[in-house]
Amino acid sequence: MSIILRLPSPPEGSKPSYPLDNPSLLDQLNFFKSKTGIEDDEKLKLHICRIQEKIYELFPFPCVWNFDFVRGKIVNHPMYQEVIQSAKNQSVAQKIFVDFGANVGSDLRQVVLDGWKREDVLAIDIIPSWIELGNELFKSVDQPIPYFIGDIFKPEVFDPTKPPSAQCDSLDLFSLKDLNALKGRATIISANFMFHLFGEADQERLAEYFALLLSNQPGSTIFGQHRGSENAGIQKLPYAAEAHWYSHSVEVRSVLHFIFSTFAEKTRC
């Protein structure tokens, strides 16, 4: 894995804005109250801010600084309801919802609250501490969700050349040893604000791997949101020489669509 994203640290002494004070995120506030068991607004704020500080120590990136893990990136995505409805129309025995870059798993817990089977969601990330911090965030009131810790770019985690194994009716997502068993099994793959962590070549590889994991059933979907720019390439900030990342443009997005469609077609052959 080759992470190229570099962004400046926030100004010394500055503090991020706590998003759940915003009335537009009332549904998010109520979700965290119900899942943590903390009904008092100020006590909940202190609890979430304490967890945010711990996450930021491990992963000092803007998404953590801005409390993205409480904003409901999946359920508040404009395509979410359409994606869910398409999945409901499938007749497969097991419908698997995968979230890449899941962090502490709060987004998938909302998907479960929304009706998806807990044993059929899979959080994927590379930092083992996310599991413990997720359990701490939800104060053990919430039941655990399946979590896989591993780098998809490592061959022992995912081998794109290995043919899919014979599919059983149901896959135990709590006991996965690698991601090869997931090939052609994912009904929905979500990935939010993670592609820009990588360079162009790794972004294309990641798109290929997602396509290999996706089920070939009609209605299976990859969705999310990411940084973009008018011109594809390494982006820099004029006020911070060390800051840089690779961004998509409309043309690069078209390339990714081509990769998805090409590899999805290969899985049908």
Tens digit of each residue's pLDDT (9 = 90 or more) over 113-169: 999 999 999 999 999 999 999 999 998 666 789 999 999 999 999 999 988 776 777
What is the CATH class of 79-267?
alpha beta
39-63-32 Cα angle (round to 5): 15
Q: How far apart are CA 131 and CA 158, in angstroms?
A: 21
pLDDT at 269: 42
Q: Where are the domains of the chain?
A: 23-66, 79-267
Residue 47 CB coordination number (10 Å): 17
Burial of 238 (0-12, 13-18, 19+ CB in 10 A): exposed
Per residue in 216-261, pLDDT tens? 899 999 999 876 666 766 666 655 555 655 666 666 555 556 656 6
Pairing of strands 233-237, 240-247: antiparallel
Amino acid at 60: P
Tokens of 204: 């294309």
| The predicted structure's pLDDT at residue 198 | 79
Total residue length of the chain: 269
Res. 265 pLDDT band, cuts 50 70 90: low
**Which pLDDT score is estimated for 95?**
96
Other C-beta atoms within 10 Å of 113: how many? 14
What is the model's pLDDT at position 232? 67
Rg of the chain over CA atoms, in angstroms?
A: 19
Q: What is the 3-state secondary structure (H, E, C) of the chain?
A: CCECCECCCCCCCCCCCCHHHCHHHHHHHHHHHHHHCCCCHHHHHHHHHHHHHHHHHHCCCHHHHCCHHHCCCCCCCCCHHHHHHHHHCCCCCCCEEEEECCCCCHHHHHHHHCCCCHHHEEEEECCCHHHHHHHHHCCCCCCCCCEEECCCCCCCCCCCCCCCCCCCCCCCHHHCCCCHHHCCCEEEEEEECCHHHECHHHHHHHHHHHHHHECCCCCCEEEEECCECCCCEEEEECCEEEEEEEEECHHHHHHHHHHHHHHHHHHHC
From the list 42, 43, 63, the residue with the least C-alpha distance to 52 is 63
pLDDT at 185 over 70: yes
| pTM as predicted | 0.87
